[in-house]
Amino acid sequence: MPAASASRFARWLACALLALSAALPAAAQTRAPVENVDYVAIDGGTPWQPLDGHVEVVEVFSYGCIHCFHFQPMVDAWLARQPRDVRFSYLPAVFTAGDVFARGFFAAQALGIDRRTHAAVFDAVHKTGRLPRGGVDVDALAAFYAANGAPSQAAFKTAMTSPATEERLNAARAFALRSGLQGTPTLIINGRYRVQARTLEDTLAIADQLIARERVRP
């Protein structure tokens, strides 16, 4: 075959293969997640807050975690694409009983301001340095939340130290332990699968496939 004809044939073949690839279903182009490589099946795992007809996705995070900070805008974009049957929850990793950031999250949740303060706390830790990454005391964090929608510093401090917050801290710690949490950020699907990916982007791609798996599970 003449060189010019061979070149034209090669270009035609490349275009044909590209068109064929685009026509294939997305599932045929994406490698299926591999157990103990891309995710871990949690023995006897149960959802954090089960809801019939929904697939639960929990992100276990820490405000002091720089990877969680970088993950946050990616999660926001991913959530905008999720259908209504996906129920997403943030859950702070409770590394110690005195974890002030975790207390602050649950207090904000109890007061109904967690959605509008979540990104603000991350920014205060990792952008402005207003809150120390290594931890913060109760009074300083209560003052921060008071400036960001809490009724008052005193009210927020009371919420942080309430029995209800203690109960949530204990429950969060128990969930993380039974899920085999090894670090943050971690996504847990329906309490059954713990995603363990090489990159943050892979974390969301694997989550999509595990969500799809849960939808068809009897």
Give me the CATH number covering residue 51: 3.40.30.10
Residue 215 makes CB contacts below 8 A (sequence gap 6+) with 55, 85
Low-confidence ranges of the chain (pLDDT < 70): 1-29
Q: Is there a single domain that holds both residue 18 and residue 118?
A: no
- Owning domain of residue 24: 1-30
Q: Is there a single domain that holds both residue 20 and residue 98?
A: no
How many domains, in total, are found in the chain? 2
The predicted structure's pLDDT at residue 3? 43
Q: Is there a single domain that holds both residue 13 and residue 85?
A: no
Q: Is there a single domain that holds both residue 16 and residue 71?
A: no
Q: Is there a single domain that holds both residue 24 and residue 35?
A: no
Q: Is there a single domain that holds both residue 26 and residue 93?
A: no
Q: Is there a single domain that holds both residue 59 and residue 140?
A: yes
The predicted structure's pLDDT at residue 76? 97
Q: Is there a single domain that holds both residue 37 and residue 13?
A: no
The predicted structure's pLDDT at residue 7? 41
The predicted structure's pLDDT at residue 48? 96
Q: Is there a single domain that holds both residue 41 and residue 82?
A: yes
Q: Is there a single domain that holds both residue 142 and residue 115?
A: yes
203: phi then psi, degrees, rounded to nearest 5: -55, -45
Q: Is there a single domain that holds both residue 19 and residue 62?
A: no
The predicted structure's pLDDT at residue 26? 38
The predicted structure's pLDDT at residue 9? 36
Q: What is the pTM for the complete model shown?
A: 0.84
Q: Is there a single domain that holds both residue 55 and residue 42?
A: yes
